[in-house]
Structure 1
Amino acid sequence: MVARRIFVYGVTGSGKTTAAARIATATGLPWHSVDDLTWEPGWVQVPDEEQRRRIAAICAGEEWILDTAYGKWLEIPLARVELIVALDYPRWLSLARLLHRTARRIIDGRLVCNGNWETLRQAMGNDSIIRWHLQSFGRKRERIRRWCADTSGPTVLRCTSPRQLERWLRQPRPAPDRSSEPRYPR
């Protein structure tokens, strides 16, 4: 079976968005950036119920890739996911990636999502993504390990290094079987 509903999960800074984009390229499955679904311009967070509605609409579909999930609606993709790609990298690696990415974005003003960009003030403030990494690292790694141990749940591809993810991405994949889908005249 070729997975048609894929959820990329990992600690902050592990490279979930980049991995999800590459998986979408390799599989032809539609990728949905969670940041684009949960943040409006000016770093205004989409209300929780609207986030749940948006994620539920995506997850009701037969094909999708999500590049993360927030705890407040994590059960929605978990109810339908076929494959979890878990980026379980060491703290030093994910933190180094996060620091590098944040510095790059601050220096070059690269847009993050919906016209938002990172600032030095954000990186050092109370809502800092770096602080979030430090606070959530252990909890997210523990969640990955629980998923791996749960044989009744979806398949989990646990990558403990970027090299493992690269090997998996290079594997040839058959196109998803769409023969049972209804055909509509064009």
Structure 2
Amino acid sequence: MSAPSRILVYGVYGAGKSTLAARLAERLGLPWYPVDDLLWEPGWVEVPVARQRERIEALCARDRWIVDGAYHGWRDVPLSRADLVVGLDYPRWRSFWWLLRRTVRRLVTGEVICNGNRESLGSVLSRDSILVWHVAAFGRARRRMRAWRADPSGPPVLLFGSPAELDRWLAGLPGR
């Protein structure tokens, strides 16, 4: 496979989508557009879905990009333009552990996530907690990735079940 120029990185919350997107951007010399920056304004104000879609359409109209997610109101946009989908299909325990560890670190350090936003104890303990989202979304994300891979009309989909599998694939990619 020649080096792709439009990559959708997909997986459940906490699987490492942003980390992988950053690695791919560095390795392949492609621009990476963190999806959270497009979805959330300061104060955790969600951008209306129609505006999210406009932003994603503008990005995906470009010739070169990496996006680290795809959500309900515009998932079709990057999927229809991607040269490659890289799916992080790790076991639930692994991605949940990574998400929990990351969330605790962010709470302790006050790390800025996107557009000045930070996680808070209140948000982590709420019904809208990213930890709750992970549990609720895990099965759907896994089924979606596997359906994409089985669909011959879509872009190629690589699913990785472990970090070691992903690392072996990354090692074989051309560098810039």
TM norm structure 2: 0.97
Output the CA distance in 1 between the equivalents of 2:19 and 2:108. Answer: 20
Contact residue 27 and residue 175 of structure 2 kept, 8 A: no
Give every structure 1 segment of 4 or more consecutive aligned residues whose post-TM-superposition deviation is greater than 2 Å. none
Contact residue 2 and residue 174 of structure 1 kept, 8 A: no
Q: Which residue of 2 aligns with 1:68?
A: 69
Look up the equivalent residue of 1:153 and give its one-letter code: G
Look up the equivalent residue of 1:16 and give its one-letter code: K
Q: CA deviation at 1:60?
A: 0.3
- 1:12 maps onto 2:47 in alignment: no
Q: Which residue of 2 aligns with 1:153?
A: 154
Spell out the pairing of 1:84-99 with structure 2 (5 A cutoff). Answer: 84-99=85-100
Output the CA distance in 1 between the equivalents of 2:122 and 2:29. Answer: 38
Q: Which residue of 2 aligns with 1:111?
A: 112
SS where residue 65 of structure 1 aligns?
strand
Contact residue 30 and residue 66 of structure 2 kept, 8 A: yes
Q: CA deviation at 1:63?
A: 0.5
Count how many residue pairs are aligned between Structure 1 and Structure 2: 175
Output the CA distance in 2 between the equivalents of 1:164 and 1:150. Answer: 22
Q: CA deviation at 1:174?
A: 6.1
SS where residue 113 of structure 1 aligns?
coil
Q: CA deviation at 1:33?
A: 0.3
Contact residue 12 and residue 141 of structure 2 kept, 8 A: yes
Q: Which residue of 2 aligns with 1:132?
A: 133
Q: Which residue of 1 aligns with 2:53?
A: 52
Output the CA distance in 2 between the equivalents of 1:129 and 1:174. Answer: 34
TM norm structure 1: 0.92
Look up the equivalent residue of 1:112 and give its one-letter code: I
CA deviations over 1:37-59 (Å, ceiling 9, x no partner):
11010000111111011000000
- CA 115–174 in structure 1, closer or farther in 2 if over 3 Å, else same: closer
Output the CA distance in 1 between the equivalents of 2:77 and 2:173. Answer: 29
Q: Which residue of 2 aligns with 1:3?
A: 4
Output the CA distance in 1 between the equivalents of 2:84 and 2:39. Answer: 22
Contact residue 12 and residue 98 of structure 1 kept, 8 A: yes
Output the CA distance in 1 between the equivalents of 2:92 and 2:112. Answer: 25
Equivalent pairs: percent with the same residue?
A: 53
Q: Over aligned residues, Cα RMSD in angstroms?
A: 1.0
